[in-house]
A and B are shown apart, each in its own frame.
Chain A
Amino acid sequence: MPVVGVNRDKLFEALGQTYTEEEFEELCFEYGIELDDVTSEKEMLRKELAGQAGADVSGASEEVIYKIDIPANRYDMLCLEGIARALNIFRGRQAPPQYRLADMSGKQLQRMVVRPETALVRPFVACAVLRGVALDPVRYNSFIDLQDKLHQNLCRQRTLVAIGTHDLAKIRGPFTYEALPPEDISFVPLKQTQEFNARDLLQHYLANDQKLKKFVPIIQSSLVYPVIYDSDRRVLSLPPIINGQHSAISLDTRDVFIECTATDLTKAKIVLNTVVAMFSEYCERPFEVEPVEVVDALGNTHVYPHLDTRQMEVDASYIRGCIGVDLPADQMAQLLSKMQLTASASADGSRVQVQVPITRSDVLHACDVMEDVAIAYGYNKLVKTVPKTVTVGKELPLNQLCELLRGECAMAGFTEILTWALCSHAENFEQLQRQDDGTTAACIGNPATAEFEVCRTSLLPGALKTLGANKDAPLPVRLFEVSDVILLTGDKGCGAANRRRLVAVHCDRAASFEVIHGLLNRVMEVLNVPYSEDADPVAAAVRQRLGGGYEWRADNDPTFFPGRHASIYFKDQRVGEFGIIHPDVLAAFDIVNPVAALELDLEPFCFDQFFQPMPTQIL
């Protein structure tokens, strides 16, 4: 969720009253935002500079800043203006503003002409003009912050949309939106004094600018870079990277030209609407926006922004049916106006007619209207009811069996561990002296933590890592885990599937093959799977019903000590192995005492009391 920092006193000024922290938290809670932190510029700077010798924070302001958590779909609340407006409307202090286009009859619209080459890199642009804006340092900062927040969230780090704002007095339309080879674009970028060509500029940002360098890859590999010129061939911006210095807005700027370039036109329109909805408040004629003509690559003319509200009609019975409260339509309409949705009840009271303003682009469906009725009504005023849905509780057979088996393993003297499904490639292969033939392990492309390279194909690494990390534990150490490994499956489904397994390790001064062997025998006993060679008639009868018993055969695997390894078979299928871990494997896992280990597939043993197999791979 985005967090927006706002000056507390300015916010209270806009809300027309002061609150205690508790009162403000309460208001936030009701509306669905959250007071995340209370701080100040000085405090934030102090934290940032913590530990740096001679850090001077004395210049920073001590005014209280509220850090407020905003739901990810409320782009209109990413600045002080938006938060104050939403809360004022919610409390009935203010009517929802009516955003409108300036009357341009007889006047020439600003025009942006789009060149076809932009389709190669960033095809869309939408623009607007705000006239007679009165900026002061607080508003100016809020304007910049809003653009930052929009870039981070809705614009998805500028990949979808990038906003450029310009002092209209310093540039001259008509403007052109072009895409040119980087060497052909040359200008003085914002906060620089020297001219760069676009290729050098991106190199410069990659090397020197922590903030801007992460946007460079968006266009760097493109043959042409997007650029906006005015009619005097002055560069307005090199979207989505940087604006030109020449047209930068300042406290003295009165007329603001806003351009949103995009790969997603819907988002560009929402972003443009959000910016003008917030800052048209400071225009000479508040909430009035001057439209701009955009001539697209095909020569078609579009006028932006689109400030029209959207009409929706929602059945009152739908709203009642979803919330579970018997509200009349006119009361729903009243509640909706608190959420910036101007609404009225239809004459017969069966429907609610809703005007969705440009700031509420999150409203897609009647359910969004229904939610706003519920929020304005108050979630905590709803009467609790219990669904009449009658169903039977049921555990998944495999999970239920594993619950039982876990208890049995603990009763057998083994202590349960819980290890990660993700591990390093080395832990899963090299450290176990196993080869990766590329057909078993699912691989992760982008781990934030280096040790998560693959999904485990065995439970052994987790158990061995646990032994290595618990060298101080009194001997013997006996551990077990019942958990899933992940194996590649070829074309089936998504190409990988979980398999439920049991792993157990026994670590002592001397290797104890017979202890781990005994656990296998005990596990099979509780699973009611007889040994193939068991001559007992009862065992033979069970084998008959199961279609076979289990057995173990001496085997050889580099993870295990030569001559101390056996494979386990159930109905002649290999289902696991046990033995003494090879000393080189122990060394790789930093274990100093001998270890005996068992790993067993559990899914073949998922059958019911009548020995009927139960499904384990269901999805």
Chain B
Amino acid sequence: MAQELETALLGAVGTGPVESGDFAATHNVPHLQLVGLLKSLQASDMITMEDIDHSRIVLTAEAQGYLGKGSPEAQVFAAVPPEGISLAEIKKQLGAAGDVGFKQAMQSKWVAIDKSGGEPRVVRKVESVQDRVLEVLTAVAAGKESGASDAELAALKKRKLIAVEQWKTYTVGKGAAWAPQRKKAATELTAEMLQKGSWREETFKEYNFNALGQLPAGGHLHPLLKVRTQFRKIFTQMGFEEMPTNNYVESSFWNFDALFQPQQHPARDAHDTFFLTKPAATPASNFPQDYLQRVKETHQHGGYGSIGYGYDWKIAEAEKNLLRTHTTAVSSRMLYRLAQEGFRPAKYFSIDRVFRNEAIDRTHLAEFHQIEGVVCDYGLTLSDLIGTLAQFFDRLGLKKLRFKPAFNPYTEPSMEIFSYSEQLEKWIEVGNSGMFRPEMLRPMGLPEGVNVIAWGLGLERPTMILYNIDNIRDLFGHKVSLSMVKQNPVCRLGL
């Protein structure tokens, strides 16, 4: 049907301009349906269209109701007997028309209010009336010339009895691409076209180059772990060996005591550290006994050139289990092992979770990832530490560094690492570093003359900067925004 109509139209247009209204009437289709076809043909340049504006006066629904009954004012006039009538009675008889009609009849001075008898009554003011409104409405309804003046029509329009209806038809002419038949454009090149070779005859729909393509289905890697991967590469490229950090539960001994962190240190407070009720403690027999004694002795009375802290070291404190507060707990185990296995120079790294008993907010989580690097060799110097840090941070694109003296219970010297941010136009802290204290290394059995330099930084902070994330909970934890995980670039750190 649609196809026939199209063919008929294209044929008619081929012989000369066509008026769309007439065409629709002739072919017995709603004009609106024809317009759809016209627009589509116009889009493919097969026809031209020129607007023809039409307008006509039509009755409103209200006016339709007065046909045959008379205008409301005429109805009111007819309802008023010579002796007059109360307004309420008129309204009762005529309903809504009574109201409108009364006002209109008063305005036309057909009726008046007589208050002489006490109660106001509506009385006739003229003997008879001519219902001109009805005449006009009837003529309009019949599509005849009403003979009404512009003023009369304007008044009726204002009374919302008539309205002007406008519509368009078109003069349809031949377009540049006119043909007696339209060929349907193909959207995609198909296997079938290739097989049949029909792609040669096909016309192809123009491609919308402004639209976005369809995103590929597939999974995504988490941004924090993408950054972790890059850090892993940087470390291994620099010759660092990964430490086994898959032990979140640790004893205070390895987490603190082995690092020469005194038992009264605030970090060992329950406010900062998660202590466990199960397994609550590591039995002292599970620690290397001779090493345990050396650690105790060094805390209490010093040794190896140190005066120690001079306090009563308690095994029960060292036995307490906790969730490790830093991966340095693992470094201390690795260095101890290195000393037992017979010392050799070593470079270690790790990136794994650490835990702090903190309230959670936009910038703090109770668990986060620590990145740590450790170099262990004879005769390492503070200058070596600075040089190593320069190499490492250079790989991260941080070329301008400076170092601030700091304090850390297990490193001496200790340095905070600052980098100049061109974006923020200020120095920002990017990590912590130092040389492990002899009171930590010598009890392990590492030879005199062996120094250990180390540094650490968080993984979350650089990731948040790289990926413009300002709430750490969007990054790590179940409230993560999945669209954030999906929509982010590769991590070019270390490129």
A contact residues vs B (CB 8 Å cutoff): 1, 29-32, 34, 71-74, 153, 156, 159-160, 264, 266-267, 310, 321-325, 362, 364-368, 370-371, 374-375, 379-380, 382-396, 398-399, 403, 406-407, 409-422, 438, 441-449, 452, 455, 462, 465-466, 468-470, 473, 477-480, 484, 486, 488, 491, 493-498, 500, 616-619
Contacts and interface: CB of A to CB of B under 8 A. Distances in A.
B266 A496 contact: no
B438 interface: yes
A420 B282 CA distance: 24
Contact of B438 (A72, A365, A396): A365
A387 B478 contact: no
Given A385-B387, A448-B357, A619 B219 contact: no
A266 B311 contact: yes
Contacts of B309: 266, 364
A488 B278 contact: yes
B375 A382 contact: no
Contacts of B330: 619
A396 B345 CA distance: 18
A619 B222 contact: no
Contacts of B453: 387
A387 B380 contact: yes
Nearest to B226: A416
B239 interface: yes
A251 B279 CA distance: 54
Given A266-B310, A396-B244, A455-B248, A411 B219 contact: yes
Nearest to A463: B478
B182 to A, nearest CB: 38
B412 interface: yes
B424 to A, nearest CB: 15
Of the listed residues A412, A422, A443, A497, the one surrounded by the most CB atoms of chain B closer than 10 A to its CB is: A422
B469 interface: no
Interface in B238-258: 238-244, 246-251
A393 B237 contact: yes
Contacts of A496: 248-249, 276, 279, 321
B238 A498 contact: no
A364 B302 contact: yes
Interface in B373-425: 375-377, 379-384, 386-388, 390-391, 402-407, 409, 412-415
B284 to A, nearest CB: 12
A198 B54 CA distance: 103
Contacts of B38: none
Interface string B92-119: 0000000000000000000000000000
B358 interface: yes
Interface of B: 217-222, 224-225, 229, 232, 235-244, 246-251, 264, 266, 269-271, 274-283, 286, 302, 304-312, 321, 323, 330, 333, 345-347, 353, 355, 357-360, 365-367, 375-377, 379-384, 386-388, 390-391, 402-407, 409, 412-415, 435, 437-439, 451, 453, 475-483, 485-486
A34 B244 CA distance: 35
Nearest to B236: A393
A444 B413 contact: no
Contacts of A371: 405, 412-414
A406 B244 CA distance: 19
A393 B235 contact: yes
Nearest to A467: B478
A413 B218 CA distance: 4
Given A364-B307, A455-B248, 15 more contacts: A382-B386, A383-B383, A389-B380, A399-B232, A412-B219, A413-B218, A416-B221, A418-B476, A419-B477, A419-B478, A442-B279, A443-B276, A469-B480, A473-B483, A491-B283
A396 B412 CA distance: 29
A444 B277 contact: yes
Contact of A387 (B360, B366, B375): B375
B485 A416 contact: yes
Contacts of A392: 239, 241
A288 to B, nearest CB: 26
B382 A374 contact: yes
A417 B225 CA distance: 9
Contact of B482 (A403, A477, A497, A619): A477
29 contacts: A1-B407, A71-B407, A72-B266, A159-B264, A266-B309, A266-B311, A267-B264, A364-B308, A366-B305, A379-B402, A379-B404, A380-B403, A391-B346, A396-B244, A413-B219, A415-B486, A416-B222, A417-B222, A418-B225, A420-B366, A421-B367, A422-B366, A442-B278, A477-B482, A484-B246, A488-B278, A495-B321, A617-B246, A619-B244
A160 B438 contact: no
Nearest to A498: B246
A348 to B, nearest CB: 20
Please give me the 6 A-B residue pairs with the lowest Cβ-Cβ distance, nearest first.
A495-B279, A32-B405, A324-B381, A324-B383, A71-B407, A393-B236
Given A415-B486, A500-B246, A447 B386 contact: no
B382 A420 contact: no
Contacts of A409: 219
A367 B437 contact: yes
Contacts of B274: 422, 444-447, 452
A72 B407 contact: yes
A418 B463 CA distance: 14
Nearest to A396: B242
Contact of A394 (B236, B304, B311, B353): B236
Contacts of A418: 222, 224-225, 475-477, 480
Of the listed residues A32, A153, A368, the one surrounded by the most CB atoms of chain B closer than 10 A to its CB is: A32
Given A383-B383, A391-B241, A478 B276 contact: no
A153 B266 contact: yes
Contacts of A419: 477-478
B239 A391 contact: yes
Nearest to A153: B266
Contact of A395 (B217, B242, B384, B387): B242
Contact of A445 (B275, B390, B485): B275
Given A387-B380, A493-B286, A365 B239 contact: no
Of the listed residues A323, A375, A407, A417, the one surrounded by the most CB atoms of chain B closer than 10 A to its CB is: A417
Nearest to B278: A443
B227 to A, nearest CB: 11
Contacts of A367: 412-413, 435, 437-438
Nearest to B217: A413
A579 B310 CA distance: 59
Contact of A420 (B229, B240, B477): B477
